[in-house]
């Protein structure tokens, strides 16, 4: 596929932390489909910022590690500085997402005229989902349905497309991994039009090692509960 040089103008945002081993391939793959890639180095201790820049990404750096949610917020703000950007795509740095899926999701956003397209591994293909990850996803999906009323199949997929009007209102407060559920809260609270789209998740030894552990589901739920109380206050 060729880069999106015509309407829509989509920008991929990749939060990264110590991803020097794989980020060059991820950036090069993204640039094969999209004209612009923004990588946010979230206080990494390795050379991933330099590697991503050499591969062709626009790199923004956090001086310290703030968390994936903070990196996504920074990347989205940076992408929107370009008035030509119509859609922002969030994309994981560990190589588990496919650029072809991202392109199809942007096309879906335009075709269906929706503000958000959410990737779902359970509508698509997710070979050998680790048992711990499956437990985290089940808990997150149940929590999302109970607190937002959204009936989704995959509550914590990092591959998503935000139309510009939704991206401009994102304003994430959860800086850690619970940002994924916060995005769903934004969808429910603001009434953003949305749809799930089937995607393939390529689990590798590397992505499994970088992924969430089962016990982190409790941390995510705690962060969300605290955030909800702060919002109510």
Domains of the chain, by residue range, sit at: 10-232
Starting at the edge strand that comes first in sequence, how are the strands of the sheet with 36-42 ordered? Answer: 58-62, 36-42, 10-16, 87-90, 160-163, 116-126, 194-201
pLDDT of residue 112 exceeding 80, the answer is yes
Task: Return phi, psi of residue 89, to 5°.
Answer: -110, 125
CB atoms within 10 A of CB 137: 21
pLDDT tens digits along 140-193: 677 777 778 888 888 888 999 999 999 999 999 877 667 888 899 899 999 999
CB within 8 Å of 228: residues ≥ 6 apart: 147
pLDDT tens digits along 202-220: 887 776 676 554 445 455 5
Pick the more confident residue, 51 or 6. 51
pLDDT of residue 127 exceeding 90, the answer is no
Using CA atoms, how far apart are residues 213 and 109, in angstroms rounded to an integer? 32
Class of domain 10-232: alpha beta
Pick the more confident residue, 193 or 127. 193
pTM of the model: 0.84
pLDDT (mean) for 74-88: 97
User: Which residue, 17, 39, 18, is CA-closest to 27?
Assistant: 39
């Amino acid at each position: 596929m060729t880069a999106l040089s015509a309407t829509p103008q989509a920008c991929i945002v990749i939060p990264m932390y110590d991803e020097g081993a794989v980020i060059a391939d991820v950036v090069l793959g993204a640039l094969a489909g999209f004209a612009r890639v923004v990588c946010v180095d979230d206080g990494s201790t390795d050379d991933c910022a330099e590697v991503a820049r050499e591969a062709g990404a626009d790199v923004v750096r956090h001086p310290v590690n703030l968390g994936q949610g903070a990196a996504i917020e920074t990347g989205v703000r940076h992408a929107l500085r370009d008035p030509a950007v119509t859609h922002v795509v969030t994309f994981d740095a560990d190589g588990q997402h496919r650029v072809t899926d991202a392109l199809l999701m942007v096309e879906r956003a335009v075709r269906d005229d929706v503000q958000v397209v959410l990737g779902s591994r359970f509508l698509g293909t997710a070979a050998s989902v680790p048992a711990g990850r499956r437990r985290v996803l089940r808990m997150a999906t149940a929590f999302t349905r109970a607190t937002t009323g959204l009936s989704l199949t995959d509550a914590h997929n990092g591959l998503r497309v935000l139309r510009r009007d939704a991206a401009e209102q994102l304003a994430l407060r959860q800086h850690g991994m619970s940002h994924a559920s916060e995005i769903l809260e934004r969808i429910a609270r603001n009434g953003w039009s949305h749809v799930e789209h089937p995607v393939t998740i390529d689990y590798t030894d590397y992505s499994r090692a970088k992924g969430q552990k089962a016990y982190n589901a409790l941390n995510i739920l705690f962060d969300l509960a605290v955030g909800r109380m702060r919002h109510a206050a």
